[in-house]
Structure 1
């Protein structure tokens, strides 16, 4: 009988045991940085009402138009799998009335996001993001601190060669005049634009600035610059961000075409780049909470894709491939008579803070040693099962080859944590 071969859906990935410790390293770095910057963890559902994203992210964005996974439940409600973290965090912030507490407040999350797009290196339909949202401060110092925080995450992982690209999309007031000027410019030679940008030209001309098609990029080289259309408050905020980055000694470049792909951004937008490719991005979104029916709360945030981060670590040699760590102690009974002792000994080892494992079946010394080496253990502990030796164990330190017999309590005292 032929066994059916099950495969995972396209654009998803399995994290197998030999890779999971790499994820632990990246997630531990994220949590360490979150603690250093006093960010509190928030966990939101994978399912939200579809309208949350269409209202916050924007109807004319690629996420809403092309990439969201949506469904209708049995009650006829339209739901969406989480495509990004900011909108859900904002919804939870409002529903949980966190704005009644001490502000400003930083929140962070680590979790899966879902977008239907062409899978590629570091880009999956189910991917994992580390995100941070800083709510309650309109200061340009908050923007610069978030950029420093994103850089600190990569610093913890030892990634070299990062650059910071900063732009500003202005406020609603200065954007309206610029949008009309951009639309007028692009309509002069619409034949050079791709089909998506022709549609964006009518729905949301700013989205054309985010297009990566070569023809559109060439046309945009001579387009009016949003940075030149900023109102005095937005220009002052941008100058404050520059001064804050300089005070931290963070090199950066100003990019007049940087807009990011989400409609909720206002003012500062930024990307962390490596070799010209964005590995993290974020910005300010002062109007989002009002759009969702809440109080006028200034906010900013960033997101980092962890699959892309793992690729970056390998590319730069910051995370060389190495096997997952084995147990501290590998316990093997030498006979059936010793098997009843295995679980109590394992329990004692674990309570002493030692990672311990066992094949749970008897083997001779040769087989026990072979299995301990295969498991990558630091110590091999064998149980003889003989009545007069029931309180003692045979220990072999695999790195040195040293072997000794001693009471289990003595070993726990010497090696326990």
Structure 2
């Protein structure tokens, strides 16, 4: 018997009800701000993702890449932003282009809490404006989304990577500083210290963490323009009441970030994997992907990790609901078939049993459905031209309703609740 590959999982009802509720809330929060849904292919030319940065683990070790039958080198999407920016370059929409997405992402890594080889993200991107207030909007909406699904134990870390020139100058300064301490670093981080020094700041290895605690800070290297941008972002978050802490060692895992970078963490998750979403500004990415210069800002948030945090806070629990009506037909099934469609076409949710089961068996299914009402059709009802309406929630008994009036009667009862 086949099973899902390692690092993947099936999402089944009722768990999938929570996914639907999470995505619906995300769509509502960002839709109110003018963000529309974008759907990109799950695979792209590998070059799209190589622009994430040759020094990142995603590019060097984790991408699922392959040659197709036309000998094209493709890769499954490891994150959401690059595909959105590629689409922006290709279609040149009116700016600022504000979109949100829902996507599976693929990374060949050991599965961990809330992160699988195929995991899923919601995210948002705003492309075409360098205004720091757009950074504030994206961060503020992300914050409000978490609140809307019931997460309260959140912390926001904020940093600035400065302009591309600031970032490059800092990387050179950091490389010199690390070179003098190369022997003190964890052996696994020494190659990055030479070739990709910013990656060293991301290390979770104890020896390296202790060394970089005294490393120079990028916020001390910001140009006047970058410092003003960062000040404006902070002022905007303060005005919105979004709490944050400055973390000058937050560089995020991808090389395209400039200016604002941030990460939300769930205090309810005690493991090292407590990030529930993060992002930043990427003013050079459109050009790196072959397009005209177009500043942008955005984030991605892992659904599986968010749901772990929701579990820890008992949030997003009221998502599953039974149907309004369950139709039980032991008189041939014709009425059950037709009545369920009548109810649905009049705006009610309805279900029924199949396979000509007994009354007892069908009622068990009705109970499991958590329906508000049951409609019973047997030989007596068929002879009288009625349907028996039973209140499954209150246990207040049952009444006979004329077949022609039953849809209106159920609608009226649901309306009165």
Common fold: TM-score over 0.5:
yes
- The one of 389, 404, 414 equivalent to 2:399 is 404
Seen in structure 2, the aligned counterparts of structure 1 residues 409 and 31 have a Cα distance that, compared at 3 Å, is farther
Distance in 2, matches of 1:348 and 1:14, equals 33
- The one of 252, 276, 279 equivalent to 1:260 is 252
Range that drifts further, 301-310 or 370-379: 370-379
Other-structure match for 1:285 = 282
Indicate conservation of the 8 Å contact 1:83/1:115, yes or no.
yes
Indicate conservation of the 8 Å contact 1:110/1:128, yes or no.
yes
Indicate conservation of the 8 Å contact 1:332/1:363, yes or no.
no
Q: Deviation of residue 390 (structure 1)?
A: 6.5
Other-structure match for 1:41 = 37
SS at structure 2 position matched to 1:155: helix
Q: Deviation of residue 377 (structure 1)?
A: 1.7
- The one of 183, 198, 204 equivalent to 1:212 is 204
Q: Deviation of residue 307 (structure 1)?
A: 0.5
Structure 1 position 381 matched with structure 2 position 375: yes
Other-structure match for 2:220 = 228
Indicate conservation of the 8 Å contact 1:112/1:128, yes or no.
yes
Q: Deviation of residue 288 (structure 1)?
A: 0.6
Distance in 2, matches of 1:24 and 1:307, equals 13
Other-structure match for 2:10 = 14
- The one of 53, 56, 60 equivalent to 1:61 is 56
Deviations 1:148-177 (A, max 9, x none): 111111111111121211101112212222
Indicate conservation of the 8 Å contact 1:140/1:237, yes or no.
yes
Deviations 1:346-397 (A, max 9, x none): 2111111222222224455444433311222211112124696364211111
Q: Deviation of residue 403 (structure 1)?
A: 0.4
Give aligned pairs, total: 406
Other-structure match for 2:167 = 175
Distance in 2, matches of 1:323 and 1:284, equals 34
SS at structure 2 position matched to 1:202: helix
Seen in structure 2, the aligned counterparts of structure 1 residues 178 and 380 have a Cα distance that, compared at 3 Å, is same
Other-structure match for 2:98 = 106
Indicate conservation of the 8 Å contact 1:136/1:298, yes or no.
yes
Structure 1 runs of 4+ aligned residues shifted over 4 Å read 385-388
User: Which runs of 5 or more residues in structure 2 are unaligned?
Assistant: none
Indicate conservation of the 8 Å contact 1:332/1:360, yes or no.
no
Q: Deviation of residue 327 (structure 1)?
A: 2.1
Indicate conservation of the 8 Å contact 1:342/1:360, yes or no.
no
Other-structure match for 2:108 = 116
Distance in 1, matches of 2:353 and 2:382, equals 24
SS at structure 2 position matched to 1:112: strand
Q: Deviation of residue 66 (structure 1)?
A: 1.2
| CA root-mean-square deviation | 1.8
Distance in 1, matches of 2:126 and 2:404, equals 50
Structure 1 position 352 matched with structure 2 position 346: yes
Q: TM-score, normalised by structure 1?
A: 0.93
Indicate conservation of the 8 Å contact 2:18/2:319, yes or no.
no
Range that drifts further, 141-150 or 267-276: 267-276
Seen in structure 2, the aligned counterparts of structure 1 residues 325 and 387 have a Cα distance that, compared at 3 Å, is closer
Other-structure match for 1:88 = 83
Distance in 2, matches of 1:82 and 1:261, equals 16
Deviations 1:306-338 (A, max 9, x none): 101111111011134x78322222112223xx3
Seen in structure 2, the aligned counterparts of structure 1 residues 34 and 409 have a Cα distance that, compared at 3 Å, is farther
Structure 1 residues 304-315: aligned runs within 5 Å: 304-315=301-312
Q: TM-score, normalised by structure 2?
A: 0.93
